[in-house]
Amino acid sequence: MKFPHRVIALLATGLLAAPALAAEWGPTKPVRFIVGFPPGGATDLVARILQPKLAASLGNQVIVDNRPGANGVISMQILSRAEPDGHSVGMSHIGSLVVSPAIQKTGYDPMKDFVHLGMLVTLQNILITHPSVPAKNIGEFIAYAKSQPGKVNYATSGIGSPGHLAVALLEGMAGITLNHVPYKGGGPAITDLIAGHVPAFMAVISTAVPHVQSGKARALGVTGAKRAEALPGVPTIAEAGVKGYQAINWYGLSAPPKTPSAISARLNRDFAAALAAPDVIKQLKDRGIDASPSSGSDYQKFIRSEQDRWIPVIKHAKIEAS
């Protein structure tokens, strides 16, 4: 094939070589994976399960950087200011992209100030109690709550967290009022539940599974449309009597604004490959988590649909930042 003289000149100067070089992007230093909650919770667990696969495929170290606070807002603020060079990515979720922007000033626009690279996982919440609580199922818990309106404490991983939303929905549908005790993550909350300092916890299922299996916590119901494979004996809240109830949790991958498309594509591909690894799938499923990789455009559409679904619930429940 003969090329026009102008194309040959451009090739010689390297101007047409840029896309090819960009497509071969790879990290030149450790990649920082920013997680908005402390160690011990579900977001941290997912990040650390993926970490070794990502380090191998990217050819560089991947560091899980825990930046807890404000239901993931602090971590997303850090991500929004990071260099768009592929060396910083963050775990995004319903709290940081849907709830917090609806109830407080976050310092970022959830859709404009990030490049959303794709969905990572979906998972259920689960209502668990300390074994000393007299309620042994959802029906008994609802009756227990109705007997003392506003006096039964429940923990979540924070104001506006998926657990907080899940309970707000349950309160509205079951006609009960509980007292919210927000923590700075699932790790501290589960520690206090096991110690008996808080009687109930709407937890991300991965945080609860080992403690339910050991008998240190009692599972009353999961929040999805079907039972969780990790705890098949635990009914959904819907089948336990609150018909139509459903509240799913999710985590995705986001990057700083203006991250080039070639870098975004490489990161999406490597994360999707990590999520497809059989040992990763097993580790996730053992904790009630489903690998759910998607394209960046599909993830953006999903975020918008979650905003449409949950913002009315947030307003009705009068959820406010502390």
pLDDT at position 19, please? 46
pLDDT at position 316, please? 87
Q: 């009692």: which residue's tokens?
A: 218
Read off the pLDDT of residues 3-53 as tens digits, 9 standing for 90 and up.
Answer: 444 443 444 444 444 444 444 799 999 999 999 998 988 899 999 999 999
Q: Is 105 within 8 Å of 262 (Cβ atoms)?
A: no
pLDDT at position 243, please? 96
Read off the pLDDT of residues 128-151 as tens digits, 9 standing for 90 and up.
Answer: 999 999 999 999 999 999 999 999
Q: What is the token pair recorded at 105? A: 């000033």
pLDDT at position 161, please? 87
Domains along the chain with CATH numbers: 30-123+249-317 (3.40.190.150)
CA distance 83 to 225: 40
DSSP per position, 127-195: EEE-TTSS--SHHHHHHHHHTSTTTSEEEESSTTSHHHHHHHHHHHHHT---EEEE-SSHHHHHHHHHH
Query: Average pLDDT, stretch 242-269?
Result: 96
Q: Check whether 238 has a pLDDT greater than 60.
A: yes
Read off the pLDDT of residues 165-212 as tens digits, 9 standing for 90 and up.
Answer: 999 999 999 999 999 999 988 889 999 999 999 999 999 998 999 999
Name residues whose C-beta falls within 8 Å of residue 258's C-beta, 6 or more positions apart in sequence: 84, 115
Please, which residues bridge with residue 218 across strands? Answer: 129
Q: At what angle do helices 278-286 and 42-58 cross, to 10 degrees?
A: 170
Read off the pLDDT of residues 86-139 as tens digits, 9 standing for 90 and up.
Answer: 999 999 999 999 999 999 999 999 999 999 999 999 999 999 999 999 999 999
CA distance 254 to 34: 10
Model confidence, pTM: 0.82
Q: Check whether 292 has a pLDDT greater than 60.
A: yes
Query: Average pLDDT, stretch 231-258?
Result: 96
Query: Average pLDDT, stretch 253-264?
Result: 97
pLDDT at position 5, please? 46
